[in-house]
Amino acid sequence: MTTTSGSAVVTLPTDTQILITREFDAPRHLVFKAWTTPELIKRWWAGDRGEVTTAEVDLRVGGTWRYVMTANGGFEVAFHGEYREVVPNERVVSSEVFEAFPDAEAVVTYTFTERDGRTTLTILVQHPNQETRDAHINSGMEGGMNEAMDHLEQVALSLR
């Protein structure tokens, strides 16, 4: 049995940002390890939405990463980016591109904070402009339910 540490909290701090926060019942060096080790990433990154087929991590400033999953609908979803800041067990800043929309690059800051053996992970997604973020958000509100869910899936994944 795993310890449930609480659910993700998503807020929209400014008109170009999304902030995701989650606490884990584990010290931060382990959260960092699970977050940055390819064979471990493969086990969680797709959530319930598919299978991770590729997880490449070159964890150094200027190094690149690329994740690919095959979603349950059969289509492939791929992301890549470049590491801009790497402080082991503390902080990672990387660019992030959803390959279906290569012009929209986000910058994501991951912060790992430990307290009493528990780790709070914050993920700050900085979009280049409000239009990109709004387009993501608005698109999920349109069309039929299936279409909306497809969009949401892409949106959720594109913002990782």
Partner 1 sequence: MILVVARAATTTDAFNAVAEPRRRQILDVLSDGEHPVNDLVALLDLAQPLVSKHLRVLREVGLVEVRDEGRQRMYRVNGRPLKPIHDWVKNYEESWSQRFDRLDVVLEELKETEGRDDND
- The Cα 26–Cα 5 span in angstroms is 9
Q: Residue 153 interacts with partner 1 (CB under 8 A)?
A: yes
Q: Residue 124 interacts with partner 1 (CB under 8 A)?
A: no
Q: Residue 118 interacts with partner 1 (CB under 8 A)?
A: no
- CA dihedral (19, 55, 78, 53) in degrees, to 10, reads -130
26 vs 59 by CB, closer to partner 1: 26
Smallest distance, Å, CB 62 to partner 1?
A: 27
**Stretch touching partner 1 by CB under 8 A, among 18-26, 58-66, 77-85, 106-114:** 18-26
Smallest distance, Å, CB 74 to partner 1?
A: 18
- The Cα 5–Cα 25 span in angstroms is 6
Q: Residue 130 interacts with partner 1 (CB under 8 A)?
A: yes
Q: Residue 71 interacts with partner 1 (CB under 8 A)?
A: no
Report, in this order, helix, strand and coil percent for the chain, each rounded to 5: 25, 40, 35
Q: Do residues 103 and 158 lie in contact, with contact meaning Cβ atoms separated by under 8 Å?
A: no
